[in-house]
Amino acid sequence: MWEYYSDKTILITGASGFLGTAITHSQLIKRWGRSLPESDSSWLLNLESVTVIDGDIMKKDLGLPPKILSELRKEVNIIIHAASTINLTYSLEQVFEHIVLPSESLAQMALGFSDLDRFVYVSTAYANTHLYKCSSEPQTEINEEIYPLLGEGKLLHDTLLNAEEARDQIKKTGSSREFELHDFPWSYAYAKHLTERLILHLFKEKGWVSKVLVIRPSVIGPAMRHPYPGYTVPLSTPSTALATAIVACHAFSVVVPTRCTYPETQATIDEVPVDVVVDRMVAHMALNTTGCVHAVGGENNRLCLQDIWGAAMELRRIPWEPRIIWSSTTDWHSPELHPALRLYVILGTAFIFTEEKTKALWNRLSPDERQDISLFSIYLREIIL
């Protein structure tokens, strides 16, 4: 599997971020050293083989000078697009400007790369959180596929084509019909949904759709093993930020929206170690998986809010414990929600992100390849409890 990378030039956006650092440092550079024959790895490990480019995804062609651009067009074989705001408070207009337009523009730029083999878009498993409100079941199952949205009250089957229309509506009016017809917990989730479709549409038109891999991590958490156990960037690790908010919360009670009958045990959060995200990405890229792939902790690794809550209470120094008021009538967007928990409105939900593509890929790996890769997380509850 690692041979696939031996002659490839990879352009990573967001390489300085939480996930980007793990991709660049631990999984590619170090792993090349462990997994390739010295003749192959020595030039890769030479720092001259890594070029830092100061680009801005909000600018056309990353704001790069023509000389660098023309080199990239000739040299790059794989683009991993991980640069993104992860600000859940951003409005639709803000995420449109920071996520949707720059990602579409990067995808357009990629179509001019003569030797492009793969385009990887880092999305989020929560891009389909609107499905929660489309059913009344306590658990919402989400598959590794593109879910069509409604437009003017009808289910739009050619959801890729429709993406362009939605993008134009937002440009013109600041919103889109499909966004208004669905209930996403944050505009960020819808922006990722729309971006997935816009990228796939562009590549489909060019006849390159099989080059696209959409990686959808759930909540990314500290590393199991690489770059080192516990590696994290606190502001990019949502459960660390949540635990901090709970530890410091001055309220006597907090409202959490839910429709679970027994939310203490039924409401769950899917967290995945950052190195599992990277390993899934690297393996699926090499073995030519196309379309959407979940990078998640999985059904048996989900945490209950009670688990995080209990762990946070042990660290808390404020002499009372806020009471959780589970509410079936409070909306995700209600001002009744405590500001600290407003970002985490999905705490009372339960999503099952299926991971069939990774299970199938695991069966294709040799015993040696399995030794060297963490495609599944260990039981996170055991660490926390």
* Positions that interact with ligand NAP (CB under 6 A): 13-14, 16-20, 55-58, 82-86, 122, 124, 217, 219-220, 233, 236, 238
Nearest to ligand NAP of 69, 233 (CB atom): 233
How many CB atoms sit inside 10 A of residue 164's CB?
A: 15
* Closest distance of CB 287 from ligand NAP, Å: 21
Nearest to ligand NAP of 277, 337 (CB atom): 277
Compute the C-alpha angle 3/225/27, nearest 5°: 30
Q: Residue 88 to residues 136, 339, 345: CA-CA distances in angstroms?
A: 25, 13, 11
Radius of gyration of the chain (CA): 21
Nearest to ligand NAP of 12, 156 (CB atom): 12
Residue 283 main-chain phi, psi, to 5 deg: -70, -45
* Closest distance of CB 176 from ligand NAP, Å: 20
Residue 150 main-chain phi, psi, to 5 deg: -90, 145
| DSSP H stretches of helix in the chain | 18-21, 31-35, 38-45, 66-75, 92-95, 101-110, 159-173, 177-181, 187-205, 238-248, 263-266, 274-286, 305-315, 339-342, 356-364, 367-371, 380-384
Nearest to ligand NAP of 41, 84 (CB atom): 84
If DSSP codes are grouped into helix, strand and coil, which group holds residue 65? coil
Nearest to ligand NAP of 130, 259 (CB atom): 130
Nearest to ligand NAP of 95, 170 (CB atom): 95
Nearest to ligand NAP of 38, 54 (CB atom): 54
* Closest distance of CB 220 from ligand NAP, Å: 4
Structure tokens at 261: 């009958």
* Closest distance of CB 85 from ligand NAP, Å: 6
Nearest to 92 by CA among 188, 192, 208, 161: 188
* Closest distance of CB 349 from ligand NAP, Å: 16
- Torsion angle of C-alpha atoms 317, 323, 326, 327, degrees rounded to 10: -110
* Closest distance of CB 61 from ligand NAP, Å: 12
Taking CB atoms, the residue at the shortest distance from ligand NAP is 17
**Length of the chain in residues, anyone?**
385
Nearest to ligand NAP of 90, 332 (CB atom): 90
* Closest distance of CB 68 from ligand NAP, Å: 15
* Closest distance of CB 103 from ligand NAP, Å: 9
* Closest distance of CB 66 from ligand NAP, Å: 19
Nearest to 298 by CA among 275, 273, 264: 273
Nearest to ligand NAP of 103, 289 (CB atom): 103
Structure tokens at 60: 């056309």
Helices (H) and strands (E) in the chain, counts: 17, 15
